[in-house]
Amino acid sequence: MTTPTAKIIFDTDPGIDDAMALLFIKASPALDLLAVTTVFGNSDIDTTTRNALYLKQRFGLTAPVFQGTDKPLTRPRNPSPTFVHGENGLGDVELTGLVAAEPEAKPAHQAIIDLARQHPGEITLIAVGPLTNLALALQADPEVAHLLKAVVIMGGAFGVAGKPGNVTPVAEANIWNDPEAADQVFTAPWFVTAVSLDVTTQVVMSPAYMEALEAGAGPAGAFLNAISKPYSAFYGGRDGIVGCCVHDAAAVAYVVDPSLFQVRRGSIRVVTEGIALGQTCQKVEGELFGPSAWDDQPIQAITVGVDAEGLLDLYRRTMITAG
């Protein structure tokens, strides 16, 4: 199934899996991409913005690219995970046809605010990197939380299934890269769904799956297969996975077809100090405790189950039909 066309802002730190998600957005008839906003994370901000502009140029995206923040709200930036995404952020594949380009002059957080005001109640913000641009938008204009239709993030790990963390035993990378921003986002009065490691680590694109994409999805499929190879090598070496996990594209799939997922509702807080830095913790709706930091916070959703085959089929059909 597909939803009616949804207006999308894509906040991203490309990133191999970010590229997989961005090309999925472009290919999906259910989505109308209004803007790409970049953030530090998988690489420094100059590299993630360059990669977004490259993907826009090479694959014919029409949405403008707005550069976001280069560092977390309050703490030093963590080193870029070049051992996962490569020095160039896209698996160190050759960026064929790369042409120097500049993002729009407006900063990413202001673009989010302005677009939300232009299309009140219509835009879903999909965020697949650190959540700093979202927190900056909230700080600059708190009303933005009431103007967006929804916020869907790839981030967090809640210990329900899959891995409880991928950068520490309890923390997922996007949240760990700016836990203060993440806590602000989860406690703001917009509706957030966290597509977490609990489900994304259950969906694996095998080498055969990627070869089929290359065969059927045109130039985008060939590019995705190429960048997946070093990504798969990382997962094979660390986790023994044959293929690569679908992380950021799973957040896009949630917007296209939420029936692929099971969710659990409750208030969410993020640990911002100590050995559990970046851990995401949900108080399930209806559970009773004494006074706590979860009291009187917005009810958000996390993903706790996924139809893995259905998600892989959705991605494959969408890319091949477009290709």
Q: For this structure, is 247 an active site residue?
A: yes
The torsion angles phi and psi of 115, rounded to 5 degrees, stand at -65, -40
C-alpha 91/C-alpha 228 separation (Å) is 8
151 backbone dihedrals φ, ψ, rounded to 5°: -120, 125
Give me the count of residues in the chain. 323
Alpha helices in 141-217 (DSSP H): 144-147, 173-176, 179-186, 197-200, 207-216
For the chain, report the end-to-end CA distance as a whole number of angstroms. Answer: 19
Q: For residues 254 and 150, give the distance between their C-alpha atoms in angstroms, rounded to a whole number.
A: 12
State the amino acid at position 108 in one-letter form: A
Query: What are the start-end ranges of the H helices in 86-178?
Result: 108-118, 132-140, 144-147, 173-176
11, 13, 18, 198: which one is catalytic? 13
Token code pair at residue 163? 């891995």
Active-site residue, from 109, 247, 248, 307: 247
193-to-76, 106, 271 alpha-carbon distances in Å: 27, 27, 18
- 307 given a catalytic annotation: no
* Torsion angle of C-alpha atoms 243, 222, 226, 312, degrees rounded to 10: -20
Helices then strands, counting H and E runs in the chain, come out as 13, 11
Name beta bridge partners: 284: 266
Residues belonging to the active site: 13, 247
